[in-house]
Amino acid sequence: MKRSKDTFKLNCQYRIVPDKQQVYQLNEWLYKLCRIHNLMLEERFNWWEFNRNSVNACPIFITHLPELKDQPTYYSQKRATHWSRETYKYLYEGVHSQVIQEAIKRVEDTFNRFIKGDLNGKRSGKPRFKSVRRYRTFTIPQLKPDCLSVTTNPHRRKNGGTRRDIAYISLPKVGQVKLIYHRPIPEGFTIKAALVSRRADGWYICLTLEDKSVPSLKSPEIEATQENSLGLDVGLEKFWTASDGEIELIQQHYRKSESKLVKLANRKDKKPHKSAQARKLAKKISKHHQRLQRKRKQFHYESATKLVSRDEQVFFVEDIKPGNLSRKNKPKQDENGKYIPNGQSAKSGLNKSINDAGWGQFLSIIAYKAAKAGKSVVKVKPHNTSQICSCCNRLVEKDLSVRIHHCLCGLILDRDWNAAINIKRVGLGIFPTIKRRKRRSKAATKEAYTVPLGSV
């Protein structure tokens, strides 16, 4: 869900069932777009390697002045007179021109994030060349308003109920493709673009819907109070714990299926490389991972709906980055340069549990659900919220294995419940002085503060 200044955009995902000829054509498109992606990326790497230095600063023995070329851009690479259209003409035949332009635009965005960074200045890793199996998505930026045709299914179920409507979507240069119309498109919305992707169990299309009649009104700011707010602490033993004591048990989807996945992987490794049997087992493993992903996402949606349906209007959640929490430990070396144990073997199981919980996806879903219900979600810095006593504000240091909070004031409380109460207190500004632990570098400690969630 996205709001702009004068439009309202919504994404809906459907499954499509192309016939054999259309499946062959879509696979051929992905193959050609993958080759184009690699060619455009290779051209940018070559220019960056030989022409990135300025003329007055580069050594003449490294960069030859007569061979200097202009930096490749999105507009130069998508031009019809580009070198690749003559040398690799077969890659452009049969593929819609705008689909090719979107593939080149993806290379442009990826390379810019590697060189310049995003809006926050954070740079991503070096772009990689794609294999045919890793390139699974292409974008159709424009679709006709009447591209979707829906007819009522005349057949009835055995119990007399109506069946799902029959729907077909018209894709450029592909034709009419059958679409599983499991939910209707909201009234007033028009189809603007589509994202076609190939997955383990078939083909899917994500439609971008737009409605210009919906005004872009800002959601009203809700003043958080003790009565209308709730603090949430996410964890690995309990998925989340509310400040009023309510808990949600964690569903370890990957952990429960880990032994089955290991058996499938061992069977696949025993088969000859790139054999038909190995490919069948690899597809079976992919489908199993897809089921786990869907189970996890469904659990997150059900848990978020359970929270949003409560009477509270403001939810204080932790401002955490699961990617940083599951990062590998840095290697350690002794005086002789020999590597010594750094605790990574013990942390690998913790990292696996963090990734299995999916905190980042859950926090995004609850923010979307709350905005849709007219409520707000506020992110709070969780520094030492599990170490501070929620009754007397005393620091009670404890390891991660200690799950009960014991304080000298007499408070005995579950560790996560105590942290949830502190998160709510920090969000309300009742106790905004929870600080980081002092490091060995004696750097100045920073006070915890609340970060309002941006537009969702």
Which tens digits make up the pLDDT trace of 312-347?
Answer: 999 999 998 888 888 888 888 888 888 888 888 888
Q: At what angle do helices 276-308 and 253-270 cross, to 10 degrees?
A: 170
- % the chain with pLDDT above 70: 86
Token representation of residue 92:
């452009």
Q: Is the pLDDT of residue 18 over 90?
A: yes
Angle, helices 359-372 vs 344-357, to 10°: value is 20
Q: What is the pLDDT of residues 357-393, one digit of tens each?
A: 999 999 999 998 998 888 999 999 888 888 888 888 8
Please tell me which residue, 70 or 135, carries the higher pLDDT value.
Answer: 135
Supply the pLDDT for residue 68: 61
Q: Which pLDDT score is estimated for 56?
A: 57
Please list, residue by residue across 228-246, b when 16 or more beta carbons sit within 10 angstroms of its beta carbon and e when fewer do: ebbbbbbbeebbbbbbeee
Supply the pLDDT for residue 8.
74
- Give the per-residue pLDDT at 446: 39
Minimum mean pLDDT among 65-74, 134-143, 228-237, 419-428: which range? 65-74
Query: Residue 440's pLDDT band (boundaries 50, 70, 90)?
Result: very low
Hey, what amino acid is at 361?
Q
pLDDT at 241: 93
Give tens-digit pLDDT for 90-111.
888 889 989 999 999 999 999 8
Asked if residue 1 lies in contact with residue 456, where contact means CB atoms within 8 angstroms, the answer is: yes
CA triple 221-431-234, angle to 5 deg: 75
- List pLDDT tens digits, range 28-74: 999 999 999 998 898 888 887 777 655 555 555 555 555 567 778 88
Residue 13 amino acid letter? Q
- Using pLDDT thresholds of 50, 70 and 90, give the confidence band for residue 453: very low
Asked whether the beta carbons of 448 and 426 are under 8 A apart, the reply is yes
CB atoms within 10 A of CB 99: 20
Please tell me the predicted confidence (pLDDT) of residue 447: 41
- Between CA 185 and CA 170 the distance in angstroms is 16
What does the mean pLDDT of the chain come to?
84
Q: Quick check: pTM over 0.95?
A: no
**In the structure, what pLDDT confidence band is assigned to residue 454 with cuts at 50, 70 and 90?**
very low
> Which of the two residues, 196 and 51, has the higher pLDDT score?
196
* Residue 58: predicted pLDDT: 56
pLDDT at 456: 33
- Measured CA distances, 62 to 46, 57, 59, 322 (Å): 13, 11, 6, 43
Give yes or no for a contact between 244 and 413, defined as CB atoms under 8 angstroms apart. Answer: no
Locate the domains of the chain by residue range. 1-214, 229-248+311-352+360-452
Average pLDDT, integer, range 182-204: 91
Of 133-142, 292-301, 329-338, the poorest mean pLDDT is in 329-338
Average pLDDT of the segment spanning 164-185:
91
| 267-304 burial: b if 16+ Cβ within 10 Å, else e | ebeeeeeeeeebeebbeebeeeeeebeeebeebbbebb
Q: What is the pLDDT of residue 46?
A: 85
Q: Which tokens go with 203? A: 């083909």
pLDDT at 451 over 50: no
